[in-house]
Amino acid sequence: MSGLLDTADRSPYAFFEQVRAQGGVVWDASVGGWLVVDHALCKLVEGDEAHFTNPYVGAPPTIVAIKGGMGNITLTHGAAHDRLRRFHLKLLTPAAVEAYRRDIVVPVVAACMAAIEGRGQAELFAELAARVPPAVTLGLLGLDWRDDALVARVLALHDDIMAFIGRNYAPELERSALEASAAINAILLPAIRARRTGDGTDFISRIWREAPSDEAIDEQTVLGICREIFLGGSDTTVYGIANCLYVLLTDADARAKLQADRSHLRAFVDETMRLYGSVQYRYRIAAEASEVGGVAVAAGDTLVLVNAAANRDPAKYGCPAHFDLDRRPVTDHLAFNWGERSCVGAGLARAEMRECLLAVLDRLPDVRLDAEREPPRLQGLFMRAFKPLHARFA
């Protein structure tokens, strides 16, 4: 059997089923860890940091630098992590997300669509999916989301960091990740310094003003918080939007149901995330010798929790490879991770996906794949999306 790394830029689902057939917890030499593809086991491990630790705990200085400093929530654990998580959730309450949707997401999507409609054709990955999330995040941070060059640059920089993380800190990718991190810091730090008074309504001002009182707030702490918001709000949602658009363009039954009844919109987004989630896997380190799914795991071993495979576990889902808008409950998948490390920005990501789908349905009603151009294919490794998305419309 091949390894996880061998599935880069191709459909991984046959490989996932080979792993599942061997018991669901299988050693993979290509990643130097145990692949876990069982839904219940992924959920169990992700929810038990006492025995399966976040790999960022005790990270070396290079990793800390790449993540933007110790203010980054992913580098914390225990009480410090709990405090920062509560603060992030305060920034992203349902009411706040609705305001961000109205004031930032809708204008960003409208600007993208204005540049597309009327031309008769577009590549929807590059011109919509890849533009909306980084522009939205720039808007949240009070930066210029209308600067096309800046939007493209921050996405490319985050791609370099995600490649390094997805390869479990591959040494050959470290330099590019460090350089990308420094470049993102250079974009953010002037705004962080300028808004130290906390007078504005943007995220940077709110962090200065509202961060937990027991945290030592300085510009490095604010930078670390902003860096993870920037990273989490960019690449992962780009891929989520792309996969939603792919389903819309290729699943005629699902599209017809959505066009006839927009109340299916929330289910459409979450079923897409279950079937084609952006982030494919997460890492955990065994804190002590234990047993996972009947397999003996040694202390210090790496577990690779393949959420993309767990979301197709037949023990959890009927007809797991089928797109089903009537599946209930719709949000019990692991596309946004699970437990105290679950994505704090999931609500905003869902809002961006929904707004992109609505815009395409409303403004490009006859949109279809361009049969004369390169067809979409599933690309990536740590994160996956269907691209390119060459489309035609009236």
What digits encode the pLDDT tens for the residues 342-384?
999 999 999 999 999 999 999 999 999 999 999 999 999 999 9
pLDDT band at 215 (very low <50, low <70, confident <90, very high): low
Q: Which CATH number covers residue 80?
A: 1.10.630.10
47-52 own/partner pairs: CB under 8 Å, 24+ apart: 47/338, 47/339, 47/340, 48/339, 49/77, 49/339, 49/340, 49/341, 50/287, 51/286, 51/287, 51/288, 51/290, 52/284, 52/285, 52/286, 52/287, 52/303
**How many structural domains comprise the chain?**
1
| Token pair for 92 | 């992203």
By the 8 A CB rule, do 384 and 280 touch? yes
pLDDT digits (tens, 9 = 90+) for 106-131: 999 999 999 999 899 999 999 999 99
The whole model's pTM is what?
Answer: 0.95
pLDDT tens digit string along 7-56?
999 999 999 999 999 998 999 999 999 999 999 999 999 999 999 999 88
Domain with 183 in it: 4-392
- 162-186 pLDDT, tens digit per residue, is 999 888 888 999 999 999 999 999 9
Is residue 225 scored above 80 in pLDDT? yes
pLDDT tier, 138 (very low <50, low <70, confident <90, very high otherwise): very high
* CA-wise closest residue to 169 among 285, 78, 85: 285
Q: Measure the CA–CA gap between 168 and 17, rounded to whole angstroms.
A: 23
- Kind and range of the H or E element at 390? strand 390-392
